[in-house]
Structure 1
């Protein structure tokens, strides 16, 4: 009777082990199951021990993953990269995220984190939708860390500029803010607010340069781009007109005004700009020529 009870108890343990394994509630590998089946009680004990050890290792890996994101020392980073075989893999990162091999996905994910994270924002965004929870964890942590770095840097630059309104400090502030706005990290109201802040700084820089008698075409182009993104079309038109006034023999201001006419659905403005280009005999690059020819043909068709 005692033997049958022991056999029954062993069968129940085997059934429990199989269910937990195949429902993925246990992280141990299925190869341990034969030992559970063939070695009563002790096999199941081994399974529990391996499961406990496996879960402990996984927690350690997650903690290590977070700490690795904060490594900035160049020597330490170079050592880590030399040890990481993922650098030898030539698979595009976007395709790697679709792979079935979880270890490859994770290795490539960490390879991004050791490199310049800012270059891979779009990849990190895609990685957050991955079915591998560890990849999602790394991607989310990387984006949070990157956004935190931008915010900290901008706050320091803002405070420094408030204490001393130096032209060099203003340039650094604008450059960092431009990178942040175009990084892809911001969305919704946060992106809008940062664009408004950038527009304010660019306007300040434009006024400063105008008073000094050293206006710069690129500044008008940058301000135009941000105004268009915010839907501030009156300010955008002002930038385009200023660019034409400043550099009447360069194409940039005219192309800005054509683009403004397209966005505001103003065909008359587009036609007027094309006429100005022809009258002023402005040299056009091949790309600009294609744009002008397209709208010229379109204008003639409608006429």
Structure 2
């Protein structure tokens, strides 16, 4: 005899005993109930059978649902894929950068990330906006082009206001400094064509020269020399490098600007002499620029 059968017989015996006790209690008026209430005590096994039938029917229904037809299986699969794609699309922007989305040609994700960038300060993501303009998706290109154009317009408005204030007060060093900083930032963003950039740099050079006259600081000299190198005004570069080196003979940036000057002038011998001087005079070169000096040595 199995344990399941033993348990079943035990429960059946217990049921019979409890039924007899119930009958005895009602018959002897120990419990003040009519005799027909015995049906609740006796009929419990029938209720159990009904529960078994219902449970069996549910299992059969579930089994049928699991098997289904091919059409139903296809519909479920499509629904799952759509739901997964929707959720994945929502989470994808949290997992990849705009650059990755553009390279992977994820147009929808690129659009979402572009909108996020617009709200976070697009001027900090200009390189990505320029990359987005090369996208195959016309909407991504439109977003990026619109943002770049708006940034350029805002800079134009700021420069017009500052230029107006500066022309009204040309001797105000604060206005001159603000105007120079704005032009430097504007040129660094590459928002204009080469021709416009050239004209802007020429204007910037004149303002920087005035800045150096008013305040001959290392920062102003470096900005002036860097801008003259961009304009290929090599006589001005050589003159200002000499003046700057006299005041800051051991400054790393001055030595590196001189190295850049010799490179642009294609003076290989001068480069070799300069690198040798850097080592002999123990000029401090930061880790990020050390590889450059080692390359030329």
Instruction: Identify unmatched segments of 5+ residues in structure 1.
Output: 1-84, 210-214, 297-303
Do the aligned residues in 2 keep the contact of 1:249 with 1:282 (CA within 8 Å)? Answer: yes
Q: 1:185 aligns with which of 187, 191, 216?
A: 191
Report Cα offsets for 1:1-43 as digits up to 9, x if no partner. xxxxxxxxxxxxxxxxxxxxxxxxxxxxxxxxxxxxxxxxxxx
User: Per the alignment, do residues 109 and 287 of structure 1 end up closer, same or farther by CA in structure 2, a change over 3 Å counting?
Assistant: closer
The farther-off stretch of 93-102 and 179-188 is: 93-102
1:148 is matched with: 153
Residue 172 of structure 1: aligned partner: 178
Cα distance, 1:170 vs. partner?
0.9
Secondary structure of 1:129's match?
A: coil
Maintained 8 Å contact 1:251/1:288 = no
After TM superposition, give the deviation of residue 247 of structure 1 in Å: 0.6
- Evaluate the alpha carbon distance shift between residue 86 and residue 203 of structure 1 in structure 2; reply closer, same or farther with a 3 A threshold: farther
Cα pair 2:93 2:112 within 8 Å, conserved: no
Contact 2:107–2:137 (CA under 8 A) maintained in structure 1 = yes
Give the conservation status (yes or no) of the 8 Å contact 1:125–1:139. yes
TM-score, with normalisation over the residues of structure 2? Answer: 0.63
The separation in 2 between residues aligned to 1:245 and 1:102, in whole angstroms, is 55
- Contact preservation (8 Å) 1:243, 1:252: no
Structure 1 residue 249 displacement after superposition: 2.5
The whole-number CA distance in structure 1 between the counterparts of 2:226 and 2:233 is 10
TM-score normalised by structure 1 residue count: 0.62
Equivalent of residue 197 in structure 1, options 203, 220, 230: 203
Distance 2:92 2:212 in 1: 44
Question: Gaps spanning 5+ residues in structure 2: where?
Answer: 1-89
C-alpha distance after superposition, 1:252-287 (max 9, x if no partner): 222221221111111332244345545655344345
- The 3 A distance-change label for structure 1 pair 139 and 286 is closer
1:162-201 Cα deviation digits (max 9, x unpaired): 1113111111111111111001212210111111111111
Q: Is the 8 A contact 1:117 1:142 kept in 2?
A: yes
Structure of greater Rg: 2
RMSD: 2.3
Matches within 5 A, 1:1-303: 89-165=94-170, 166-209=172-215, 215-274=216-275, 276-277=277-278, 280-296=281-297
